[in-house]
Structure 1
Amino acid sequence: MSGTKTTAMQRRARTLTAGQRILARHLTARAAAWVRAGRRTDLDGVAAILGCILRLILLAAGAYAVWWLIRRWPVILWAVVPLWCWAAIRALGTDDEQAPEEPPALPSRDAVILLLHEVLGDRPAVHLSEVLTHLQSKGQAKGWTVADLRARLEALGIPVELKVKVGRKGPTRGIVKAALPPLSQPEETEPSPVPSPTV
């Protein structure tokens, strides 16, 4: 029962995250379009973009005012957060990007473990970003993010470490070779019992 509840919560969180991403993209696109609209086509040089600069200043002032109000009266968040979440969920219906019900699919657990060994080679660890690049170079996992890959690996029972250092790159999420689970052993079929000879 607890596993079902956790899965449902994860689905809702993914839906809300996808909606917030879409909403933020829409708001950014509208703000950028509004700023671009301030450009004067009848002027040249700096004079032509003075309107754009002024609109950028207004946007920055508005953002600062919102931040100042929240710092001054944090109780505003009780109204702002539900409105933001409501707008994020509504944004799902205005975009082709929908929150997936399940993490993107990968091959079987054993196939993934073999793939990870292939990417690892002789190294003790590998970053998830490199695994994703390897998958996409083979025409798989198109449009995936590192978070998508992590979710599916963990669903298969393959541990993902939070901070893994590989070479000179900074520590980030990755796979440690020593922590990879062994491949599944094929189940041995028991021989059918031989009937005892009748006397």
Structure 2
Amino acid sequence: MTRLARIADRVATGSQIVTRRVAARAAAWCARGRRDDLTGWRAALGIVARCVLLLFGAYLLARIVRALPALMWVLSTGWTIAAWRAGQPAPEAPADGSPPPDREAVRALLLEAMGDADAVHLRTVLAHLQEKGHGKGWTVADLRARLEALHIPVQPKVKAPGSKSPTRGVRRADLAPSPAPAEEASPASSTAA
């Protein structure tokens, strides 16, 4: 792969990630408009109002760009920078020379940090990693980038036990079980029956 192709691939991958993040944030913002004290269609009026606000904002932005085409340079530069940062590949090997972890090892670590809960915050996972001597100097953003590179979904708003507010984290439901334990479990359950 040529250098130009690697750059284009990184920007394209980053654009997909940024698009998903923006869409998830917009959807979460709209969903927070639902009123729990009302029922029926009245409860959804806040969602509709927020969707209308988003559409109106997109319309205004389009009108402003049509009136000031030079603004498109600023917007496209900002998008490209955000896509470049989001598309940064995970390092192939850690600085200590050990091989990069595979998805199953990371999944097991996440389940260990999760315990009996249905979700875990990334800051809790990072603290768990650092207790075991891994991830020294990492931030939550570094951990999130590495999880996303392993195709482990990171949710923007996760409510974990013992926390007062939702923040970025991983849900147990998003961690697909590995095929090997399922194959091992089926003969054991058939002999038990």
- TM-score range (shorter-chain normalised) is 0.3 to 0.5
Compute the TM-score of the two structures, normalised by the length of structure 2.
Answer: 0.45
Compute the TM-score of the two structures, normalised by the length of structure 1.
Answer: 0.44
